[in-house]
Each structure stands twice: as C-alpha cells, then as structure tokens.
Amino acid sequence: MGLFITFEGGEGCGKSTQSRLLLKRLEQRNIPAVLTHEPGGTALGNELRELLKRKRGSSFSPQAELFLFAASRAQLVAEVIRPALVDGKVVICDRFTYSTLVYQGYGRELGLEAIKTVNDMATGNLRPDLIILLDISPEQGLARKRSLKDRFELEDLSFHRRVRGGYLDMAKAEPDRWLLIDASLPKERIAEIIWDRVSRTLPSQSSLRGA
C-alpha cells in the first residue's frame, strides 16, 4: 500500500497551495504521487461540488448536505484514492472526512457519531496516515479571500470559530497522526515543516514503486 496524506483547515488557510507544493516535491524525487480534492475529483464529485459550493440557487438541509459530501467521497475513494494506494502511490487529498466532522458536525451542529458512521460507510473505513492541519483564525483566513465565493465562506464568524475549534480538538486527540502548523507562517516555511514530516513518514522508495 502507498501513503495517504490529507490537508485540512478553515477557509483561507492555504491547503490547496501547500498540497500542490508537496506534490511537486514528491515528483521532483520521482516518487509516484496523486493529488486530488474534496468535494470533487471525479465526474460525479465535480457535479456535486457545483451544488455544494455555489452561493445561490441551492438550499438544502444540513442532513442533505452531509449525504451529498458522502456521495462525492465514496466515489472518490472507489475511483481514485484506493486504486492509487493499491498501486503504492502517495495520495494527497485536499480535505477528507475530517472536513465533514468539523463543518457539518461542529459547524452545522449535527451529531458527530452519526457523521462518523456515514464517513465510515462512504470510505470503507479508510483513514489517512497523516493529517496536515493548517491552523488560522477565521478572521485572518477570510481576510485572505479576495471575494467570498461559496456558501461556507459566507457563513458567520461563529460558524467558522466552531469549525476551527473542532479541528483543534481532533488534532489534540490524535497528535501522532496530525501535524498542526501555524498557517500565518511564510509559505516557504510551512512547506519545509510539511516536507520534514512527510519525508520521515514515507515508506522506502522501492516499496512506493511496487518493487
């Protein structure tokens, strides 16, 4: 099996930038790697992403929102993530199950145990080997956005504060699996911290190539 790494964090934390930088670093070392994201990453997931992320024209209950994310995730795991891991690749995913726990659980205040059950069904109990949390205050993160583009970015500060609190709670509960980074640090410094941890987590190059 390969290595499964996920990036988590609130709005404006820099997940997408850092996930691309990590992919580039792996590719420079000829380490087989795949970068994907949630919601999306498949034809079905991309259609669901349009529904879930748009500002207007789609209003649905928190429960419906939960199941739409789960449907996108189930397809991504089946179509992209598991096959790549079986091939021995490093899989980098921009958001995964923990986003649902904090956004729909802490943010929307749905039951955490029910969300965990839905997540387990969608992923077949797949867990990341490493979760990288880029932590930033909601005020700083939202200020980085040039324009608020989707339903989640438009939520009030109390929502985003609950999301951040949820992430910090989970990182504290499993410090061996979570890498907590101050997202207000310079981009280059964050990338170095990430690479230091990832390089120590990587299996041998031969096993990643399936040798």
pLDDT on residue 204? 62
> Measured on CA atoms in the order 193, 187, 181, 76, is the torsion positive or negative?
negative
pLDDT at 111 over 50: yes
Strands of the sheet containing 90-94, edge to edge, are 33-37, 90-94, 3-8, 130-135, 178-182
d(CA 167, CA 144): 20
Answer for the pair 127, 68: CB distance below 8 angstroms, yes or no.
no
pLDDT digits (tens, 9 = 90+) for 41-78: 999 999 998 888 775 555 788 899 999 999 999 999 99
Q: Which CATH superfamily is domain 3-202 in?
A: P-loop containing nucleotide triphosphate hydrolases (3.40.50.300)
